[in-house]
Amino acid sequence: MLVGDTQGQVTEWRLPGDGRPATRYDAFQAAPEGIAITALSFLLGDATVAVGDAQGRISAWFRAGEGQVRPWVRAHLLQPHRSAVVRIAPSQRDRQFLTADVQGNVALHQPTSERTFFELATGLPGVADLVLGPKADGFAVLGTGGELLVYGLKNPHPEVSSAILFGRVWYEGHPGPSHAWQSTGGSDDFEPKLSLVPLLFGTAKGTLYALLFSLPVAVLAAIYTAEFAGPRVRGVVKPTVEIMASLPSVILGFLAGLWLAPLLARELVGVLLIFPLTPVAVALAAWGWHLLPERFLRRVPRQFELLLLTLVILLSIGLARTLGPVLEALAFPAGFPAWLQRAGGPGYDQRNSLVVGFAMGFAVIPLIFTICEDALAAVPRHLRAGSLALGASRWQTAVRVVLPMALPGIFSAAMIGFGRAIGETMIVLMAAGNTPIMDWSPFNGMRTISANIAVELPEAPYHGTLYRVLFLSGLLLFAATFCINTLAELVRQRLRDRYSRL
């Protein structure tokens, strides 16, 4: 039981109910000292209490913080009345509530969004009682002279506002304001959390990790295929990569979630070693190859270079996977994931951004590779011939002549790959863990807008608040993709106009 006094203090009493006397448990100063508390009411769930005082101020309080004993905090301050608050009527359906003052004015509030929807002058000399309907579709006001006024109410989505969708909100029981998405809970007392910021963050994070993996691989592979590989190798590599684009994303997500994620969990250090070891091994192999006699190199067919390169990459991957457990045993005796947790880091989730980056990058590589290879092949051959005739090497010709001329096409490929990654659903749904958290760590998961729509829409009540928020998130995803692609097209046109003059 909560009791407000004339000094602005609210005292919490515990009532055992077995004949023992009530005990004073806690107290908090809800109004300035000397200002009386004139109205008190628990809101839906009996965790948040609305407080009105003699000066018309209205606030919402709940326990927050860490530990077993959590203090009462004033989480929300609402639009005040011009006179003392005498009645508070909470909703039985959601967290909105009505307040009435001594002058007969009635107002409707929502504490989480800190919105006051209206203030109504009833014309009554005073309010004796106030009731909000069970479905929150009407309310009744009883005057001190016995008058009864009944009003209809239409406010179907009180828990949503721009501040709720995009701002930091202090939710009931949380230690402080935060961005959170949790649309449903285990009871009717649950407060929905509908911030779109974690979903936008997850979409950007998944796209970034996918492009970090796919863009360098696809562009470098396209440069090799277009400028260094022979016709026979090109005739095999390009159709093979294009066939990869036909793989269903649900199959890639299935493999990522059930095969790749456990593999990374077992051999995480070895997989991370692949990234530094493979480039070093390729560079050393290339350096050693060019130390061989020129007479020998001229007799070696180009197909052997590709075979040697593939062999070096496979050997470096095998070496990384062999050294990984040894390095982990020496540096992290309890395991690298356990070390992450003990070191106060983000920890390690089996379905994380690394898995999504590999799987989604694998889906994006064929698209970027095909467009980049076509753009490089479309560069006029007389430019290559002129560069080679002037003494430039094939690599210098590719980097300083061909690549700048093909830059508009490569940029378009990157943007098309970006659009493919930002809208991907099944891979993220099956491999990302669907955790709407805001953390750039590659060892944590995320939830993207597209995956969230796929998860939440089947259970969203038709035309309900969640249903509309999901459609809004889809509209935001479309708008973001449209704006980015439009900007990319403008940049591509400027690049094409610039390099067409060469």
Q: pLDDT digit string (tens) for 127-145? A: 999 999 999 899 999 999 8
- Distance from the first to the final alpha carbon of the chain: 82
CB neighbour list of residue 351: distance below 8 Å, 6 or more residues apart: 257, 261, 431, 432, 433, 445
Is pLDDT above 90 for 81?
yes
Task: Report the percentage of the chain scoring pLDDT > 70.
Answer: 97
**Model pLDDT for residues 322-341, shown as the tens digit of each residue:** 888 888 888 887 777 777 77
**Statement: residue 18 has pLDDT above 80:** no
Which carries the bigger pLDDT value, residue 280 or residue 17?
280
Q: Which residues pair with 23 in a beta bridge?
A: 14
Predicted local distance difference test score (pLDDT) of residue 501: 61
Nearest of 163, 106, 491 to residue 98 by alpha carbon: 106
Question: How much is the pLDDT for 502?
Answer: 57
Per-residue pLDDT at 20: 82
Length of the chain (residues):
502
Least confident of 85-94, 290-299, 433-442: 290-299
β-pairing verdict for 9-14 and 2-4: antiparallel
Helices (H) and strands (E) in the chain, counts: 17, 16
State the Cα–Cα distance between residues 378 and 398, nearest whole angstrom: 13
Of 279-293, 368-382, 486-500, which gets the smallest average pLDDT? 486-500
pLDDT band of 478, cuts 50, 70, 90: very high
pLDDT at 500: 64
pLDDT higher than threshold 60 for residue 229 = yes
- The whole-number pLDDT of residue 108 equals 96
The Cβ-side half-sphere exposure at 497, using a 13 Å CA radius, reads: 6
| Predicted local confidence at residue 468, as pLDDT | 94
DSSP conformation letters of 364-414:
HHHHHHHHHHHHHHTS-HHHHHHHHHTT--HHHHIIIIIHHHTHHHHHHHH
pLDDT at 255 over 70: yes
Nearest-angstrom CA–CA distance, 17 and 24: 14
Q: Residue 3: pLDDT above 90?
A: yes
pLDDT of residue 4: 93
Average pLDDT on 391-402 reads: 87
pLDDT of residue 302: 67
What pLDDT is recorded for position 325?
87
Check whether 10 has a pLDDT greater than 90. yes
At residue 224, the pLDDT reads 86
Q: What is the pLDDT of residue 61?
A: 94
Per-residue pLDDT tens for 402-461?
888 888 888 888 888 888 888 888 898 888 888 888 888 888 888 999 999 999 998 888
- When pLDDT is averaged across residues 147-167 and rounded to a whole number, the result is 92
pLDDT surpassing 80 at residue 303? no
pLDDT at 189 over 80: no
Q: Can you tell me the distance from the alpha carbon of 128 to that of 374, in angstroms, rounded to the nearest whole number?
A: 79
pLDDT over 80 (residue 64):
yes
Does residue 77 register a pLDDT over 90? yes
